[in-house]
């Protein structure tokens, strides 16, 4: 990785709601990494819990933006994708990874499309199929259990054992993902963790499970993971740091009923910086 690496992150702007770009930019900046953005869509709020939100799909702006970057010779040291606006957009994003990756660049794909056994509003089977194609290009894929099941065609259940998780991980590698960072994997009451599988073998980092899970923690996790990875941490260390930071964010938010729409990640950014030191 270069001395001063630059990440491109592609995900939506939810104007209000503490997710996607409004999380990725501050979190990756706190990791000390320059971040360029390609907004996939602009929404007045995120789609989980608000109703009547606006949605401006930016799919058709993508080819011209990519062409301009190519003309300027702009490339990135990592490309990190999150919530995407349309099936067609996923094809454009695959093309951007092909054309805008610098030498030694890594791709980090958060297939942000589902949680708690269900697709987010507006997504369908065609979107899942297209997302499989994007995950095939992933140096790192970061699904939760619901997304991992959709991507592998394995039935979703929360009552599972290690063999079930191993089968899903094998399915994700079979899609083409080089490293799997599988979040929210729990083998014991009151505990959860992240399973890392890839070039360095398989490891599992277990940490406490907090019942007040908040919206947007997947984006906090993926952003902290990407920032730590590009800072030079190993995948296992980046996965652990991202987990510890996400736990801090959930604890910081606990008890604030007005803050149902996201996690209060800002006051604990200092802890993330300390974890990276």
CA dist., res. 275 & res. 108, Å (int)? 21
Using the rule CB under 6 A, give the single segment among 126-134, 171-179, 211-219, 220-228 that binds ligand PXL: 211-219
Give the x-and-dash track for 113-142 against ligand PXL (CB under 6 A).
-------x----------------------
Q: Does 19 bind ligand PXL (CB under 6 A)?
A: yes
Q: Does 219 bind ligand PXL (CB under 6 A)?
A: yes
Q: Where are the beta strands (DSSP E) in the chain?
A: 6-16, 34-45, 55-57, 76-81, 101-109, 114-115, 118-119, 140-141, 179-182, 191-198, 201-208
Three state DSSP letters for 230-255: HCCCCHHHHHHHHHHHHHHHHHHHCC
Nearer to ligand PXL, 179 or 217 (CB): 217
Q: What order of strands is seen across the sheet that includes strand 101-109? A: 55-57, 34-45, 6-16, 76-81, 101-109, 140-141, 179-182, 191-198, 201-208
Nearer to ligand PXL, 42 or 210 (CB): 42
CA dist., res. 162 & res. 174, Å (int)? 18
CA dist., res. 19 & res. 262, Å (int)? 7
By CB under 6 A, the count of residues binding ligand PXL is: 14
Q: What does the DSSP assignment read for 171-224?
A: HHHHHT-SEEEE-S--SSTTEEEEEEEETTEEEEEEEE--SS--TTHHHHHHHH
Using the rule CB under 6 A, give the single segment among 41-49, 67-75, 132-140, 195-203 that binds ligand PXL: 41-49
Q: How far is the CB of 218 from ligand PXL (least distance, A)?
A: 5
Q: How far is the CB of 50 from ligand PXL (least distance, A)?
A: 9
CA-angle at 145, arms to 52 and 272, nearest 5°:
80
Nearer to ligand PXL, 20 or 105 (CB): 20
Nearer to ligand PXL, 14 or 107 (CB): 14
Q: How far is the CB of 71 from ligand PXL (least distance, A)?
A: 30
Q: Which of 143, 184, 193, 216 binds ligand PXL (CB under 6 A)?
A: 216
Using the rule CB under 6 A, give the single segment among 45-53, 90-98, 150-158, 183-191 that binds ligand PXL: 45-53
Nearer to ligand PXL, 43 or 150 (CB): 43
Q: Which of 80, 83, 140, 182 binds ligand PXL (CB under 6 A)?
A: 83
Q: Which residues bind ligand PXL (CB under 6 A)?
A: 12, 14, 19-20, 43, 46-48, 83, 112, 120, 216, 218-219
């Amino acid at each position: 990785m270069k001395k001063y690496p630059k990440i491109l992150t592609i995900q939506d702007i939810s104007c209000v709601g503490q997710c996607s770009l409004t999380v990725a930019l501050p979190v990756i900046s706190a990791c000390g990494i320059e971040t360029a953005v390609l907004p996939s869509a602009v929404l007045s709020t995120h789609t989980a819990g608000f109703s009547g939100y606006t949605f401006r799909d930016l799919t058709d702006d993508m080819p011209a933006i990519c062409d301009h970057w190519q003309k300027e010779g702009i490339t990135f040291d990592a490309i990190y994708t999150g919530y995407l606006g349309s099936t067609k957009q996923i094809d454009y994003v695959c093309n951007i990874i092909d054309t805008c990756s610098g030498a030694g660049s890594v791709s980090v794909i958060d297939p942000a499309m589902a949680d708690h056994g269900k697709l987010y509003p507006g997504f369908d089977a065609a979107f899942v199929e297209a997302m499989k194609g994007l995950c095939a290009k992933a140096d790192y894929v970061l699904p939760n259990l619901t997304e991992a099941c959709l991507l592998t065609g394995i039935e979703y259940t929360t009552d599972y054992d290690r063999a079930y998780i191993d089968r899903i991980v094998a399915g994700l590698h079979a899609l083409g993902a080089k490293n799997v960072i599988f979040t929210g994997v729990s083998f014991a009451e009151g505990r959860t963790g992240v399973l890392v599988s890839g070039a360095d073998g398989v490891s599992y980092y277990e940490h406490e499970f907090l019942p007040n899970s908040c919206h947007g923690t997947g984006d906090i996790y993926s952003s902290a993971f990407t920032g730590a990875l590009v800072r030079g941490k190993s995948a296992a260390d980046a996965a652990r740091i991202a987990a510890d930071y996400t736990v801090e964010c959930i604890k910081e938010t606990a008890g604030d009923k007005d803050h149902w729409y996201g996690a209060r990640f800002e006051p604990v950014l200092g802890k993330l910086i300390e974890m990276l030191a």
